[in-house]
Amino acid sequence: MKKYILLFMALFGLNQIIEAQQDEYLWLEEVDGSNALGFVESHNKVTLEKLSGQPDYQQIFDKCLEISNSTERIAYPAIYGDFVYNFWKDKDHVRGIWRRCPLTDYVAGNLNWEIMLDIDKLSETDNVKWVFKGASGLYPTYDRFLVSLSKGGGDAVVVKEFDVNKKEFIFNGFSLPEAKGSASYLDINTLIVETDFGEGTMTTSGYPRQVKLWKRDTPLSDAKLIYEGETTDVSAGGFVMRDGSLAYTLVYRSMTFYSSQYSVWKDNKAIRLDVPEDAGFGGILNNQLIVELKSDWTVNNVTYNTGTLVSLNFTELLEGNKIIQVIVEPDEFSSISGISTTKNKLLINMLRDVTGQLYIYSLNNGKWTSEKVAAPDYGTISIAAADDMTDKYFFTFANFLMPTTLYYADAANNTFTAYKSLPAFFNAGPYEVKQYKAKSEDGTLVPYFMISAKAMKHDGTNPTLIYAYGGFESSSQPFYSSTFGIAWLEKGGVFVLANIRGGGEYGPKWHQAGLKEKRQNVYNDLYAVSEDLIAKKVTSPKHLGVMGGSNGGLLVGVAFTQRPDLYNAVVCQVPLLDMQRYNKLLAGASWMGEYGNPDIPEEWAYISKYSPYHNLKKGMNYPEVFFYTSTRDDRVHPGHARKMVAKMNDMGYKTYYYENTEGGHAGSSTNEQGARMNAMTFSYLLMKLK
């Protein structure tokens, strides 16, 4: 009897612990629950009334909307055969139009746009708030496209087949129901598809784990299964990789966010590609598979270092032989930020101390040679579009004070001309850009850019905003933002872009220094930049704010809970905050390669030290945080922000909260919604920091 009493007491005690640990705000995770939406509505009303009543709100809103709708914006190209396609939103096309123009006319500046699909009209007809999510065409004719449409801006999409000559969806054409998936043409009558095929076909991260071939005029249920991953994988998928006229069908399974196995589907079997699981693919050119190494790789007693870009003879690789050429090996201050191909050339974007350089690589006699493109210096270079039928391409250059310019280039002879520039939406003359490095707690030097008035006084009173991300090997590069110009710089603000670890500014090792148990390095880097600005008397905690979204929302959530003494304003957008449950919410399980698994005690031990939701304390001098998210965000659950606000409010802390009812992870679906978000954000910052 005593044994059973002790067992009962043990179980009762365990249940008590579990009950005590239960989250009293779980009801806010019910995305469309009536109580949760009531919470959202009441907070939205209070926040919008407060922030829209600020002196600068209406001027910022009007100017942002004017800029977003400006006909002087660049119509960025996507090249498909003889046409350039473009998606465009303005005051007359709130949800946007998908349109095309002959490539020769576009290059000549004769923009004879032909509207393919009007999303506003489609939304009205279907009574659905459609958001255009892109289209992929049928090679080489490009007379048919698979158009992806989202209901309200989420990641889940409906896919419909579209005839661009008739400008209509194809009756009884290919059509996929709403899911986080995609499809690509193998030929006019065959798609390679990953989608929700029914029970047991999705991963715990909410993505497809099966890949099928689907024939025209057959039900999706009859599609042929050719590949599948595990339920615990992040995802599985397939796509077509082209090398000139040759086409290869690739399938893959992503075991984690940073590890995948790739195979070629050939002769009704999957031939595994023997390359590192953490490597990145950059396409195939002239039978050379382009591979970026994320860790050291030793082949035939030769070690290729982390961050190196190599190529492998593709047909030999399929036979199990590795013939490897080094394309480029970045040094400790450089990284590869982008890889593109034209018909015959390889285009590589490099970062050196977080400023862009562009190179053209050619394969001659089995060896790679390079030429540097004489693009402008000290900014960001991005490939806007590349033509796989010629060596022509478009690239952009921008920095903080120079409006974005689109260039038309020829990789065959390394020439380019300016095609179109954005207008100067604000006067950049009074401002300057400086780059500094702050010493983090472990001695690492962390670069950051500061944009300020040339006449700025170093008296500690300048309203200063730090923007940072610090995750997923995503580099924060210089950019031109008219919104920051008119809403912040012209209001007397100082803007800082911090290149903290976790990003990819200095290659894979810069990212890996912030993974999992090393995450605190990311946060310490942000504090080092903040303290450096204070030491330079640019600002002081009273006038210092920080902003970040998604993983950056987690960053700033950690910042104000760990170091409330540093900041007087925090803009926390579409954030992760509850790091104990993040892997159970929407796509959260896919990020365990970045943060760790909170269900493993050893990993929760380090996650728990920074999880903002769990480190809230009473009696602290927290800033009045502005949280912004979207009901239709199906990537980062809106429950993170909702629960954080509810918990803080119940502890007696004042917050600002706004949840857009659509917009997905981007936060907004239309230019007007974006202008409102910007007007609220900068009105809040000016209210708190001036």
The residues annotated with a catalytic role in the active site are 550, 665
The rounded radius of gyration (Å) of the Cα atoms in the chain is: 26
CA distances 237 to 179, 212, 250, 302, 518, Å, are: 13, 9, 8, 32, 31
CA 670 to chain centre: 18
What string of H, E and C letters represents the secondary structure of 154-167?
CCCEEEEEEECCCC
Cα 685 from Cα 690, distance rounded (Å): 8
Which residues are registered as beta bridge partners of 168?
A: 163
CA 125 to chain centre: 31
Give the residue from 82, 136, 152, 154 showing the smallest Cα distance to 114. 82
Helix 639-650 × helix 551-562 angle, to 10°: 20
Contacts for 536-539 with beta carbons within 8 Å, 24 or more apart? 536/458, 537/458, 537/459, 537/460, 538/450, 538/452, 538/456, 538/458, 538/460, 538/462, 538/464, 538/494, 539/460, 539/461, 539/462, 539/463, 539/464, 539/494
Cα 264 from Cα 269, distance rounded (Å): 8
Say how many C-beta atoms besides its own lie within 10 A of residue 34's C-beta.
8
Cα 639 from Cα 175, distance rounded (Å): 32
- H or E stretch at 49: helix 34-52
Cα 171 from Cα 653, distance rounded (Å): 56
* DSSP annotation of 223: P
- What letter represents residue 509's amino acid? K
- What letter represents residue 257's amino acid? F
- What letter represents residue 152's amino acid? G
Cα 81 from Cα 143, distance rounded (Å): 10
